[in-house]
Amino acid sequence: MISYIEKLTNEILNGRKITYEEALNLINIDNNDLGILNVLFENANKIRDKFNGKKADLCTIMNAKSGKCSENCTFCAQSSHYNTGVEEYPLVSYDDAYKRAKEMEAKGAHRFSLVTSGRGMTDKELEDIIDIYKRLKENTTINLCTSLGIISYEQAKKLVEAGVTMYHHNVETSSDYYKNVCTTHSYDERIETIRNVKKAGMEVCCGGIIGMGESIEDRIKMAFEIRELEVESIPINILNPIKGTPLENNESLEPMEILKTMAVYRFIIPKSYIRYAGGRMLLEDTQNIGLRAGVNALLVGNYLTTIGNDIDQDKKMVEEEGLEIIY
């Protein structure tokens, strides 16, 4: 297996894309075979460093509108279909958004995103959030991202004009498994939104969640489907089961399973950011290993409804692993 991993790595470094079957061979490495896994991780880093350099991108999010979501995504604390006790509030004010953006800018985050619950934005909400982004563009230097659900090309163009440079919209899982995750909107609607924002001129942050009951094959299919979308950033979330949701009793993934998945995604998608996102706290004291296994971006600070890592601790971890933080 060592020679197989090294052969694949050399071919990727020379421009070849690996196949679905080859990726399955990698993801099926035994989680207890630490010797082989270390070789996989080392080679994932070789691929990362060749195409991206030894640099790390730090982003942060703000829950800008919470709860009362009409959609039934089975993992989500903010869905109105489930009783999770999540805090509910309308769109935040500019002052609150500005305060958070400046705080995270001062701490070293490279990107700042307002994230709203719901299928999409009403006309009034979009108008209000565009005003917020225009003012943030004038009064901060942080890169502006957003995650507003399903949007049209026309809406995306307005966001670009307001200064937003990247749109976050996950596929969540493979197209085959998607029906087990959400039935109130389709996988194709998600893809249409991604195409709309790309056409409007934004970069795209698109990943998913692992640990929702999907198969290993689904996990790999998701990576290949994302590869076809040619996105700039791929956040990999690890399910953190929320009480009250249909997935509340799902067993958490083993750390080595998570890290192996990160590494294999780097083999499949050499040039994009592979981003630690929600749920990485489940890795506990092994989080740094991901930075030796192809990861080169992190969602820092708190998440939408759960507590995240302290940004200063994350910066220290990144620097200790020899990566330069992008400012």
Show binding-site residues for [4Fe-4S] cluster: 69, 73, 76
Q: Are strands 273-276 and 233-238 parallel, antiparallel or unpaired?
A: parallel
For residue 319 the two structure tokens come to: 């620097």
Q: Say what angle helices 311-320 and 94-107 make with each other, to 10 degrees.
A: 30
Pairwise CA distance, residues 180 & 34, whole Å: 33
Annotated binding-site ranges for [2Fe-2S] cluster = 113, 145, 205, 275
Give 19's Cβ-side CA count (13 Å radius): 3
Cα 264 from Cα 257, distance rounded (Å)? 11
Q: Please say whether the beta carbons of 91 and 125 come within 8 A.
A: yes
For residue 69, give every residue at least 6 positions away whose Cβ sits within 8 Å of its Cβ, in sequence order, or none.
Answer: 76, 78, 79, 80, 117, 118, 119
| Annotated binding-site ranges | 69, 73, 76, 113, 145, 205, 275
